[in-house]
C-alpha cells in the first residue's frame, strides 16, 4: 500500500529518536497480557509497538501517567471516537466504511442520493478556504439532508443488520481486549460519534460478538415504529464540527449511572466523578469531546491515518501520543494496564507508609506519656 511506503521515511527520522515505552520507568509495572485478558496470551513485540507510536514530550506524558495512577482506576474513564479510531482506516486493502457510509437502505435511488450528498459535502468539510461558521452550517445541512433521506427512503432495522453484515468495516486489533480489561475494572467507555448510534451498536454486536456493560454510545440515535421502520431522530444532530458543543448535554443521561440503565444509581460509578480521562480520536477536533468535563488529568491518544506527511507535526503538538500506520490498540492497552496495576501498588504502598508513620507517632506519644 502506498500509505505504508509514505511512512517509512517518517518512521526512520522521527521514531528512532523519540520512541517511548510506557513501561520504561517502572519495571515492576511490566505485565504479561496472558495474566489478565481471559487467559489469552497476547505476545507483543516492543519494537513493533514503538514503530507505530510517537510521543513528542515524554516527560509531560510521564507526569500525567503518574497523576492518573495515583488517582486509581475508580477515577478513570475512557472517551473514544468511533470511525477510524476504534475501527480500522484500511480494511482489505481499501478505505474502511464509516457508520454512516455502510448503510444500504435497500432502495438504490436513496442510496445514490446519499452518495451524491457525500461527494458534494465531504470536500467542503476539509476545505481550507471555508471559514468555521460557514462550514458548520454546511455540515448541519449535510447531516440533516442525509437523515431526512434515511427516513424518506424507508430505512428499517432489518436493513441495518444486513448492512452491517455486508459492510467493509473492522475494529482495530485489541479493541475487544481493551473493552474487556476496562470492564473487569469497572472503568467506563464513552463512545462519542457524529455517526449513527444504532448502527454503531449493531457493529459492536456483530463484529465483537459480545456486549460490554461499561460501554455507552453517544451519537445520533434513531426512533423506529412498531414495524421496525425509521420515523425520526432523537435529540440534537451531532455532526463532525459540533461534537464538543453537544458533548455534555447529549451525554447527560449516561453520566448519571454506569451499567444497567434501568438499575439503581451507583454513585461510586458516576462518570461525572471520574475526573481522569484517556481520550482516543483520529482528528484534532476530537480533543473537544472532553470539553466541559472539568477533568483533572487527560491523556490524549491520536490515530493519524492519512496525510501523514502534512499532519504529523500538528498531531504531535495536539496529542500526548500519536499512533500511525493504522496501528492496533496494543499501545493503549499497555498504557491502561500500567495505570491500573501500578495505581493499586502505589496506593497500597502509600497506605502502608502512612500507617507506619502513624504507628511511629503513636509509639512516640506513648513513650512520652510513660516518662
Which of 81, 198, 282, 320 is the catalytic position? 81
Q: Give the separation between CA 100 and CA 89, rounded to whole angstroms.
A: 14
Cβ–Cβ < 8 Å for 239, 143: yes
Closest CA to 172 of 81, 291, 69, 85: 85
Whether 112 is catalytic is no
For 261, other C-beta atoms within 10 Å of its C-beta total 10
Find cell 496470551 and name the residue.
Answer: 41
Contacts of residue 261, Cβ cutoff 8 Å, sequence gap at least 6: 253
Strands 53-54 and 321-323, by their bridges, are antiparallel
Find cell 475494529 and name the residue.
Answer: 171
Closest CA to 186 of 266, 129, 292: 266
DSSP H or E run through 233: strand 230-234
Residue 236 — left, alpha, or beta (φ > 0 → left; ψ -120 to 50 → alpha)? beta
Which of 56, 57, 66, 83 is the catalytic position? 83
The residues assigned a catalytic role are: 81, 83
Amino acid at each position: 500500500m502506498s500509505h505504508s511506503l509514505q511512512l517509512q521515511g517518517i518512521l526512520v527520522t522521527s521514531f528512532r529518536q523519540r520512541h517511548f515505552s510506557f513501561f520504561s520507568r517502572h519495571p515492576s509495572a511490566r505485565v504479561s497480557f496472558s495474566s489478565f485478558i481471559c487467559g489469552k496470551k497476547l505476545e507483543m513485540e516492543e519494537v513493533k509497538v514503538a514503530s507505530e507510536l510517537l510521543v513528542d514530550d515524554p516527560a509531560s506524558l510521564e507526569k500525567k501517567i503518574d497523576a492518573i495512577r495515583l488517582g486509581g482506576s475508580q477515577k478513570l474513564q475512557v472517551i473514544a471516537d468511533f470511525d477510524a479510531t476504534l475501527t480500522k482506516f484500511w480494511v482489505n486493502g481499501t478505505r474502511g466504511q464509516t457508520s454512516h457510509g455502510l448503510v444500504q437502505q435497500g432502495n438504490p435511488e436513496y442510496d445514490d442520493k446519499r452518495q451524491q450528498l457525500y461527494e458534494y459535502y465531504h470536500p467542503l468539510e476539509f476545505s481550507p478556504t471555508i471559514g468555521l461558521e460557514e462550514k458548520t452550517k454546511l455540515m448541519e445541512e449535510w447531516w440533516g439532508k442525509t437523515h431526512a433521506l434515511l427516513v424518506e427512503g424507508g430505512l428499517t432495522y432489518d436493513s441495518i443488520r444486513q448492512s452491517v453484515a455486508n459492510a467493509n468495516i473492522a475494529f482495530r486489533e485489541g479493541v475487544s481486549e481493551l473493552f474487556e480489561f476496562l470492564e473487569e475494572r469497572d472503568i467506563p467507555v464513552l463512545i462519542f460519534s457524529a455517526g449513527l448510534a444504532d448502527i454503531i451498536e449493531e457493529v459492536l454486536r456483530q463484529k465483537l460478538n459480545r456486549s460490554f456493560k461499561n460501554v455507552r454510545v453517544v451519537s445520533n440515535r434513531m426512533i423506529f415504529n412498531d414495524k421496525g421502520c425509521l420515523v425520526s431522530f432523537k435529540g440534537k444532530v451531532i455532526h463532525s464540527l459540533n461534537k464538543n458543543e453537544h458533548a455534555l448535554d447529549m451525554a447527560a443521561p449516561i453520566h448519571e449511572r454506569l451499567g444497567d440503565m434501568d438499575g439503581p444509581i451507583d454513585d461510586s460509578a458516576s462518570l461525572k466523578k471520574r475526573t481522569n480521562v484517556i481520550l482516543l480520536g483520529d482528528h484534532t477536533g476530537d480533543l473537544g469531546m472532553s470539553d466541559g468535563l472539568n477533568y483533572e488529568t487527560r491523556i490524549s491518544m491520536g490515530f493519524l491515518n492519512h496525510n501523514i506527511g502534512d499532519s504529523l507535526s500538528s498531531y504531535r503538538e495536539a496529542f500526548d501520543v500519536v499512533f500511525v500506520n493504522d496501528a492496533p490498540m496494543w499501545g493503549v492497552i499497555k498504557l491502561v494496564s500500567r495505570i491500573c496495576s501500578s495505581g493499586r501498588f502505589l496506593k497500597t504502598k502509600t497506605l502502608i507508609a502512612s500507617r507506619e508513620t502513624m504507628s511511629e507517632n503513636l509509639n512516640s506519644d506513648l513513650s512520652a506519656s510513660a516518662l
